[in-house]
Structure 1
């Protein structure tokens, strides 16, 4: 959250140079507060597990957040009860005439599927295009990040020869970028994907700010300069056993998966894994809610304006 100090206090210039959000008394006196409206498009098969993971991250903020869950279509789910979907999830047609402060599009187990072969690809493009005029900031997670780069920058699908699975060390760039507020210089985050996000490739073909990278996993965090689109290529929402469950699943399907990197104690799958990424996962979502959504979204969601997306941090 911002700090409020007198307009002319000398410290304000120093803090702003460090890109720390300082709210002047004059601005604070006119600020209005309301709950944030955040929509989660859940593309994962185990929707109850995934929604719980994301809600946990969104809850670690002093901001009040009203969350609505969105499904991509009305096909029956093998992993989620129909009653749950009918009770708690909305179809796009039910929300398309409304505006939202934030949108999160989750990952999906489609790493080896070409975009044009994804059953709901056309519908997903409709939702992503809709977000340009109806959402203040959209976060694309894992596979959705690859899909978002295709839509916004027409980047072709790039696939690794082997699945990236494990917990990797990342380094931050642009220390004073708002999304990295409070981050350590290096941090851990889990990945589980075939998608390739090379820093060189993204730097050459997009105007994104590359904010965090790994020597092994590539780009972890990137954003458009107006912060209306944020790309997270890993899974900060994962529970401590999620990678383990995926590993066991792949073993059961005869896929001969590699043991997730830097995950099990002594690299032994018989040892219970422990989460080493929770603090930065919570911090990333708190920063996104505050600096990309709350500080930029209009008080009246019916009045979108480009001015809301060009404010200084």
Structure 2
């Protein structure tokens, strides 16, 4: 949240020069406050786990946040009880007439499929098009980021020779962008994917800014110039043991070339070490504050 500072206090100019967000008295006095409306399109198979992960990160905000959980009508989830879906989820037809302050599109374990072969691709395209006019800012995660980059900018995904799997160090390229304010110059993000984005096509996209990269995991954080579209190739929302669960699942399935997640376990042991929680929380707080709350009109109409 911004610091409310008197207009003529000397500290105001110093903090602004350091890219600390401050709000002067006149703006604070006139600013209306209401709950922020966030719609979460949950495409992950373990929906309850993903709900908990995302709400944990967004729940640290002092803002009041109202959530709507969304699933495609053209796909029937197999790993979540129908009762849970009926009670807590809605479909796009029920909300398409509404406006939301923010939207999150999660990942999905369907990287092996061309986008056009995904059962709900046409519906997802309709939702992403709708978001351009009915959502202030949309955060795309992992496969959701690849799908968003493909739909909005024509950037394709590419097959990797080996799965990117582990917790990787990232470098902040644009330190003064609002989304990475407060970040250390190096920070960690979990990744778990068999595909990457086409970096040559990304370089040609003049409407996008790359905010952070990893030598091992590639581009991580991308923001559109108008800040309405944010793309995150990793999984900072993951719990400490999520990669371990995926690793054990792959071993149980007897998949070929299964490797332990890199930079994940404590040295000499088998216990995971969480090195990404603080930056994950900061990332979601920055998005919710700077890209949603500060940009959304009090009355959409």
Asked whether the two chains share a fold, i.e. TM above 0.5, the reply is yes
Secondary structure in 1 aligned to 2:150?
helix
Q: Secondary structure at the match of 1:279?
A: helix
User: Deviations 1:40-86 (Å, cap 9, x if unpaired)?
Assistant: 00000111111111011110111110011000126432210000000
In structure 2, C-alpha distance between the alignment counterparts of 1:40 and 1:19, rounded to whole Å? 30
- Aligned counterparts, 1:235-254, within 5 A: 235-254=235-254
Shift of 1:10: 4.1
In structure 2, what is the equivalent of residue 311 of structure 1?
none
2:291 corresponds in structure 1 to 292
Aligned pairs for 1:143-182 (under 5 A) are 143-182=143-182
Distance 1:104 1:59 in 2: 14
Stretch deviating more after TM superposition (3-12 or 165-174): 3-12
Partner of 1:186: 186
Change (3 A) 1:178 1:250: same
Preserved CA contact (<8 Å) 2:74 2:120: no
| Residue 53 in structure 1 maps to residue 47 in structure 2 | no
Task: Quote the offset at 1:244 in angstroms.
Answer: 0.9
1:33 aligns with 2:51: no
Structure 1 residue runs of 5 or longer lacking an equivalent are 304-313
Map Cα deviations across residues 172-214 of structure 1 (whole Å, 9 max, x no partner). 1211111111111101110011221466652333431211110
Count, aligned residues: 300
Which residue is 1:282 aligned to? Answer: 281
Give the conservation status (yes or no) of the 8 Å contact 2:4–2:22: yes
| Map of 1:97 onto structure 2 | 97
Aligned CA distance change for structure 1 residues 267 and 170 (closer, same or farther; 3 Å)? farther
What is the CA-CA distance between 1:25 and the residue it aligns to? 1.3
Further displaced range: 92-101 or 208-217: 208-217
**Structure 2 regions of 5+ residues with no counterpart?**
none
- Seen in structure 2, the aligned counterparts of structure 1 residues 267 and 80 have a Cα distance that, compared at 3 Å, is farther
Contact 2:2 2:22 in 1 (8 A): yes
Q: Secondary structure at the match of 1:260?
A: coil
What is the rounded CA distance, in whole Å, between the counterparts of 1:74 and 1:156 in structure 2?
A: 23
1:260 to 2:256 alignment: no
Residue 120 of structure 1 corresponds to 120
Q: Give the Cα–Cα distance (whole angstroms) in 1 for the partners of residues 14 and 226 of structure 2.
A: 23
Residue number in structure 1 paired with 2:82: 82
Distance 1:204 1:159 in 2: 20
